[in-house]
Amino acid sequence: MNLAALNDIAEKMVTPGKGILAADESSGTIKKRFDAIGVESTETNRRDYRELLFRSTEAMRDYISGVILYEETLYQDAADGTPLVKLIADAGAVPGIKVDKGTKPLPGFPDETITEGLDGLPERLAKDFERGARFAKWRAVIDIGSGIPTAGAVKANAHALARYARICQEAQIVPIVEPEVLMDGSHDIARCDEVTRFVLQTVFQELFEQRVALEGIVLKPNMVVCGKKCQSTATVDECAHRTIAALKATVPSAVPGIAYLSGGQSDEEATAHLNAMNRIGGFPWKMTFSYGRALQAAPQKAWAGRPENVAAAQRAFTHRARMNALASLGKWEDSLETALAA
């Protein structure tokens, strides 16, 4: 393992003023998103849509540091025969690959899941590295509900994350470590805070035990927010302060950077929370975004599967990328969002 090289990639992924585009939707997930805009989810349509993102010159050059790809996309060529991974690298961004195989029910733990995908991972990573991937992503899913999460389920998912991370580093690939506490429930922000802290503490203990070099990872956590069904609400500032406090208490300073997931927040909510945290400052890591839907909802709607809408979709993508890039520097404003969207 060449830790210096891994650290170089990790640092590039959290370059100030840039963030990570999560374009790794599974075939099932992107079908749902295409269904919403009336587009058939064929291989060609998926390629054309992702190609328009990667050919958004301003966004990719100025605001995107890395792109998480689905396996299909990593090995796909653009319409002119150029590998899509080359379009990303030529724009100056780091190509990455989602390597987990999704969640399955965890035996013995009702309503809880475990992420699979460790079998054959070293061989897959070697092939992905040869194709151009320099980082990977694995998502563990922790739900909040009546009696959950349990310590056993959290530990099982944290252990799998740590095993994945060490395997990645052995393959000279930077692991994105993503323990997501879902915001789907009715829990309040205090409960999310409590669970987030416990999950992160458990994850870093497992990373330590599996001898993962923290200087060669990027953490992708949830923000501390209320559940979608919660009767009460929390302000942007409360979410920002609680998130920073939770991470300060659990995340070692050796980690180069944190790239937050949006977790089902609206475009503007995800941007506002990231901006508020960076304005507060006082943390040892770089903090940026690793957004999927929060970057892509607007361009998907603008595109709607029509070639004549490509330019409009690219403008929408560039706008959302720029807003989040500003938020990663603490320089986003509501007024700026409104003015530039007009």
- Catalytic: which of 71, 220, 286, 337? 220
**How many residues appear in the chain?**
342
Q: Is 178 labeled as catalytic in the residue annotation?
A: yes
DSSP code of residue 138: E
Alpha carbon separation from 273 to 136, 170, 241 (Å, rounded):
25, 35, 10
Residue type, 112: E
- CB 169 within 8 Å of CB 126: no
d(CA 223, CA 104): 24
According to DSSP, the residues that pair with 139 across neighbouring strands are 178
Locate all alpha helices (DSSP H) within the chain, ordered by sequence: 3-13, 27-36, 43-54, 57-62, 71-74, 84-90, 121-131, 151-170, 189-209, 236-250, 267-280, 293-303, 310-327, 334-341
- Catalytic: which of 51, 71, 178, 180? 178
According to DSSP, the residues that pair with 20 across neighbouring strands are 66, 290
Q: Is 127 labeled as catalytic in the residue annotation?
A: no
Helix, strand and coil percent figures for the chain, each rounded to 5: 50, 15, 35
Catalytic residues: 178, 220
